[in-house]
Amino acid sequence: MKKYRIEKVTVNTLDEYINAIKDMYCPWNIKTNYDLLMKVESYIKSNLRKDDYLDIAYLCILKFYDQQTLIKNFDLLYELDKKGYVEAIRLLGECSLEGIGMEKDISFAYRKFHQAADNGYFVAQYFLGTSYMYGIDNIQNYELGIKYLTLAAEQGDAFSYQNLGYFYFYGIGVEKSYDLAFNYFKKALENGAKKAYTSLGTCYQGGYGVGQDYNQAFHYFKLGVEMNDSEAYYFLGRCYEVGRGTDINLEEAYNLYLKGAEANDIPAIYRLGVFYEHGIYVEKDYKEAFRWLEKAADKGDTDSEFSVGYYYLYGLGVEIDLLKARNYLEKAANKNHPRANYELGNIYINSIGVKKDNKIAFNYYKKAMELNYPSAFYMMSQFYLYGIYVEKDYQIAYKYAIHAHGKGELMSNYTLGYLFENGYFLPKDLSMAIAHYKKIIEIDKNVLYRLAIIHMELKEYETALNYALEAEKASIDNASDLVKIIKNLL
């Protein structure tokens, strides 16, 4: 088998290209230099079948921009394949995979890729490694994926090192190992993978496989930006936004997010939406926030899908559209966004644009609770407190309420107050009930009615009347009747 060297060289002239090919190097910048590409194509075309390596280069160029001419030269490709040139073998597999000049045949394509890879060709090894890991062509095999990426990496292929780092960092197909991930990212950088700057910055920022060091994280993110890595703009922007490894500089953060957005980096687009939503550095502008958030949502960003759904639900920066609100919230909820599930529960229990359905509401709240959203614990306590869809169970109501209370959810005080007021599961204790209800007067006027009832029971009629009048002023149901009853007791 005859194969190229692993080194990837940059060429700027026709002579440099020809010499690189004859020395079995891969000139990787040829596709970005159209003028040079045309000169190379013209030269090789006029010298066709005089040098096998130049012939292979010609066929690869045709695959890039002139597939019809490639098809006309398939006899040359088959000839080079039979001679055992691994790049020709790989190219034939690629043509078979894409159905260029021949029937699309995934099985045949992968046999050719394996033939080239098993004879040490790093490009084919990298292709097989990533294909098996990501399940491309519906063929997923983590064991083979790691095997071929490792083989390519051992030859010094930077992209294979980078991908191995990624898989070990997230534990995809292998046991998660931050130590291995960090070392692979270092190797990727040493071999020229620009994206490794951002990956190493992430490791230093979170202390993954190395001691946490915000200064080093900032350093690598900055180098990533200098290398034009689209993801680095977001990470460096966050450093400036929160003062991580550098002083807070919101203007710099904003400008970096803009550059990231221009490069279609989704987290950067999302942060611009957040800046306009909360008025960070810029004037608060829900319309502009929605514009950015919708861009990120339509690219599949879960947080943005939730935000866009929320904006449509409450008419923030856009007209209320309950159908679109529900659609976006469902997208986020299906990807386990806690608050999206919670808001969908609210939609169904309050019949907002849909028929009231306590069962659906319960299931959404339950999922939000399982995702640890504090308010969902409170809503679940209400279901069991009043027997909504489920049987009343004061012990379960208390369990969820105390859990919500521990997470700082203020409305849990209502459930706890009600249990103390009535002696359900907890010993009856009106002073405790009053204490809990008073904590949420500002956010739930319904407790004014409950406080009036308690003070009536304590025969503190003046205080009871004051609460009842406040409840009446807040248009709480039955408050007017309660005012009349208390006045008759005075």
Q: What is the DSSP string of 133-167?
A: HHTGGG---HHHHHHHHHHHHHTT-HHHHHHHHHH
Per the rule left: phi > 0, alpha: psi between -120 and 50, beta: everything else, 118 is alpha
Question: 34: part of which helix (H) or strand (E)?
Answer: helix 34-46
Q: What is the distance between the alpha carbons of residues 160 and 122, in angstroms, rounded to a whole number?
A: 9
pLDDT score recorded for residue 23: 63
How does strand 26-27 pair with strand 8-9? parallel
The token pair that represents 362 in the structure block: 């319960």
Contacts of 3 (CB under 8 A, 6+ apart): 24, 85, 86, 87, 116, 119, 120, 121
Please give the C-alpha separations between residue 93 and each of 151, 253, 428, in angstroms, as whole numbers.
19, 45, 78
Is the distance from CB of 372 to CB of 338 less than 8 angstroms? Answer: yes
Of 488, 421, 490, nearest to 457 by C-alpha is: 421
CA dihedral 428, 429, 430, 431 (to 10 degrees): -170
Q: What is the distance between the alpha carbons of residues 328 and 313, in angstroms, rounded to a whole number?
A: 10
Is the distance from CB of 329 to CB of 310 less than 8 angstroms? Answer: yes
Q: Tell me how crowded residue 10 is: count the other CB atoms within 10 A of its CB.
A: 11
pLDDT score recorded for residue 8: 59
pLDDT score recorded for residue 478: 94
pTM of the model: 0.84
Please give the C-alpha separations between residue 218 and each of 113, 249, 459, in angstroms, as whole numbers.
40, 13, 65
The DSSP code for 385 is H
- Residue 247 CA, chain-centre distance (Å), reads 27
Q: What is the distance between the alpha carbons of residues 352 and 161, in angstroms, rounded to a whole number?
A: 51
Q: What is the distance between the alpha carbons of residues 451 and 441, in angstroms, rounded to a whole number?
A: 10
Report, in this order, helix, strand and coil percent for the chain, each rounded to 5. Answer: 70, 0, 30
Question: 292: part of which helix (H) or strand (E)?
Answer: helix 286-297
The token pair that represents 459 in the structure block: 């025969």
Alpha helices (H) in 227-349, listed in sequence order:
230-242, 250-262, 266-278, 286-297, 302-314, 322-334, 338-349
Of 249, 339, 325, 254, nearest to 290 by C-alpha is: 325
Per-residue confidence of the chain (490 residues) as pLDDT tens digits? 445 554 556 777 878 777 776 666 555 555 566 787 778 778 777 777 777 777 777 777 777 778 898 888 899 899 989 998 888 899 999 999 999 999 999 999 999 999 999 998 898 999 999 999 999 888 899 999 999 999 999 988 999 999 999 999 999 999 999 999 999 999 999 998 999 999 999 999 999 999 999 999 999 999 999 999 999 999 999 999 999 999 999 999 999 999 999 999 999 999 999 999 999 999 999 999 999 999 999 999 999 999 999 999 999 999 999 999 999 999 999 999 999 999 999 999 999 999 999 999 999 999 999 999 999 999 999 999 999 999 999 999 999 999 999 999 999 999 999 999 999 999 999 999 999 999 999 999 999 999 999 999 999 999 999 999 999 999 999 999 999 999 998 8
3-class state of residue 97 by DSSP: helix
Of 108, 139, 113, nearest to 128 by C-alpha is: 113
Of 61, 21, 33, 29, nearest to 45 by C-alpha is: 61
Contacts of 57 (CB under 8 A, 6+ apart): 17, 21, 40, 44
CA dihedral 215, 220, 223, 229 (to 10 degrees): -140
Please give the C-alpha separations between residue 346 and each of 47, 107, 339, 365, in angstroms, as whole numbers.
73, 51, 10, 8
Question: 26: part of which helix (H) or strand (E)?
Answer: strand 26-27
Q: What is the distance between the alpha carbons of residues 136 and 388, in angstroms, rounded to a whole number?
A: 47
Is the distance from CB of 158 to CB of 192 less than 8 angstroms? Answer: yes
Q: What is the distance between the alpha carbons of residues 120 and 152, in angstroms, rounded to a whole number?
A: 8
Q: What is the distance between the alpha carbons of residues 471 and 114, in angstroms, rounded to a whole number?
A: 77
Q: What is the distance between the alpha carbons of residues 315 and 81, in angstroms, rounded to a whole number?
A: 62
Q: What is the distance between the alpha carbons of residues 17 and 39, in angstroms, rounded to a whole number?
A: 10
| Phi, psi (degrees; rounded to nearest 5) at 26 | -105, 110
pLDDT score recorded for residue 6: 46
pLDDT score recorded for residue 210: 97
| Phi, psi (degrees; rounded to nearest 5) at 85 | -75, 120
